[in-house]
Amino acid sequence: MQEMLPQFAGAGSSSTVAQDELSSLKAGYPMVWQNIRWRPFVEAVVHASITESDVEAAAASWISYRAVLADLFPGEVPESGVIDSKLADISSIAGRKNVFLKADHDLAIGSSIKARGGVFEVLQHADDRAALDGISFDPATSDWARLRSNLKARRIVVGSTGNLAYSVARTARALGFQAEVHISADATPFKKARLVELDVQVVEHSGDYKEAVAAARKSAARDDAAYLIDDESSSRLFLGYSYGARLLADQLASRGISIDENHPLVVYLPCGVGGAPSGLTFGLKAIFGDDCACVFVEPTQSPCFLVQLISGKNKPTSVYDIGLNNKTIADGLAVPSASIFAVAQVGEMVDACVTVADAEMLKLSAKLGEHGFPVEPSAASALGALEPFVKSCGYHFDERKRRFATANSTHVVWSTGKSTPDTLKLLLEFATQNRVGV
């Protein structure tokens, strides 16, 4: 197979570069796009509806929910009630110093980054219901059993390609809620099966992610006892994800890693509809400011966030509009249109977008698996963006960008989901077709 070298874009003027970038995108080439709409955080945050105070409040809520999580998931969530993943040094795998993997594929409750948002929003809604019933949202009180009994009459509804639905459904069922999940055709057989095992209503759709989310929205609107978790526009999901930035900052500090102008941080974030990477980006920028670069990573056939940013429009733009097919083995990233809400929050904060081919994701998924990190292709895409981004920064006209390519920078690739039996099947097929070892 002939190697496709990434196309470097974004260094020209906004009036001339968009068409060239769209041409590269339409061809399905891996590419790096340096965000021409980027602004310093202090300027960009003014244009967002989410505030730094909102992020602080979400962090306080996460802390207050620790006892609840320890009670709901004993043995899985530690007694401390903290849901987080390890930060592993993978410099030897990446072939570059100071490269770490944020192992959300081992995150409690969902084995994916989606637990950070999904669990948080379910807990927030349960907390709201407790307040309406005059009950303390605290498992140590005598009212706890009564609250869970009351919640049995209520439903949580969500649309997803699989991972978000699982974390939402597990948390909902643990609290006593009924749960209804709408899944797209991109959801893998394993992810469908594990949802069924949770005793939730699973509604399969023959269409893509947007169809599943739209169906969930309609279903929830018909039932006063239903609460919709809307992956395309939920501020609670966004804020739930943002707390992961603070936990990462603590882990870096515990390793003695300082982030400043001369020692910048680059975080590579796989991106589907955009909620998770956007929430983390906001949280990271609030902590590290412009000394942290946030890179969104998408499949070459499903770069919905990149397409939306390049379009410059305030209404949804689809990958179908530029001739792409939204077909990718990265099922968690198979999304045709980005969240306009997420774009509105961080469209001027994202430093770059990188697209990665399916074959590269599979190769890196196998490589990481060999070293004890069983990640799905969506998660492996983050590592696939590292070298193209660094190379692009090295040639960039902006000195601020070039510093991210120096040996003093720290790189974190965010592993967003765990490998499944379906992943193993894909890896074996890939190995057979390309005659490589897995």
Parse the chain into domains and list their residue ranges: 7-110+235-434, 114-229
Residue scoring higher pLDDT (199 or 186) = 199
Per-residue confidence (pLDDT) for residue 213, from 0 to 100: 92
Q: What is the mean pLDDT of residues 151-156?
A: 97
Per-residue confidence (pLDDT) for residue 436, from 0 to 100: 40
What pLDDT digit, counting tens, does each position of 43-92 carry?
Answer: 999 999 999 999 999 999 999 999 999 999 999 999 999 999 999 999 99
Could you tell me what percent of the chain has a pLDDT over 90? 81
Please, which residues have CB within 8 angstroms of residue 64's CB and are 6 or more apart in sequence? none
210, 304, 345, 16 alpha-carbon torsion, rounded to 10°: -140
Q: Is the pLDDT of residue 306 over 60?
A: yes
Residue 234 to residues 44, 241, 336, Cα–Cα distance (Å): 20, 11, 18
Rounded-to-integer distance, Cα 99 and Cα 101, Å = 7
Rounded-to-integer distance, Cα 294 and Cα 281, Å = 6
| Average pLDDT in the chain | 91
Q: Is the pLDDT of residue 243 over 70?
A: yes
Identify the helix (H) or strand (E) that includes residue 280. helix 275-288
Contact (CB, 8 A) for 281 and 289: no
DSSP 122-155: HHHHHHHHHHHTT--S-TTSTTHHHHHHHHTT-E
Per-residue confidence (pLDDT) for residue 15, from 0 to 100: 39
Residue 14 — very low, low, confident or very high, per pLDDT cuts 50/70/90?
very low
Residue 395 — very low, low, confident or very high, per pLDDT cuts 50/70/90?
confident
Per-residue confidence (pLDDT) for residue 185, from 0 to 100: 86
Residue scoring higher pLDDT (422 or 73) = 73
Q: What is the mean pLDDT of residues 290-312?
A: 96
Q: Is the pLDDT of residue 13 over 80?
A: no
Per-residue confidence (pLDDT) for residue 433, from 0 to 100: 64
**Could you tell me if residue 318 is left (phi over 0), alpha (psi between -120 and 50 degrees) or otherwise beta?**
beta
What pLDDT digit, counting tens, does each position of 18-34 carry?
Answer: 577 778 889 999 999 99
Could you tell me what percent of the chain has a pLDDT over 70? 92
Q: What is the mean pLDDT of residues 272-298?
A: 98
Sign of CA dihedral 133, 139, 143, 149: positive
Residue 325 — very low, low, confident or very high, per pLDDT cuts 50/70/90?
very high
Q: Is the pLDDT of residue 362 over 50?
A: yes
Per-residue confidence (pLDDT) for residue 419, from 0 to 100: 84
Identify the helix (H) or strand (E) that includes residue 412. strand 410-415
Residue 358 to residues 29, 307, 370, 428, Cα–Cα distance (Å): 11, 18, 19, 14
Length of the chain: 438
Residue with tokens 């930035």: 245
Q: What is the mean pLDDT of residues 103-122?
A: 97
What pLDDT digit, counting tens, does each position of 188-241 carry?
Answer: 888 888 898 999 999 999 998 889 999 999 999 999 999 999 999 999 999 999
Contact (CB, 8 A) for 229 and 121: yes
Residue 9 — very low, low, confident or very high, per pLDDT cuts 50/70/90?
low
Residue scoring higher pLDDT (293 or 420) = 293
Per-residue confidence (pLDDT) for residue 430, from 0 to 100: 61
pTM of the model: 0.93
Q: Is 101 helix (H, G, I), strand (E, B) or coil?
A: strand
Q: Is the pLDDT of residue 424 over 70?
A: no
User: Which CATH architecture is the domain 7-110+235-434 placed in?
Assistant: 3-Layer(aba) Sandwich (3.40)
Q: What is the mean pLDDT of residues 294-323?
A: 94
Residue scoring higher pLDDT (421 or 88) = 88
CATH class held by domain 114-229 = alpha beta
**Could you tell me if residue 372 is left (phi over 0), alpha (psi between -120 and 50 degrees) or otherwise beta?**
left
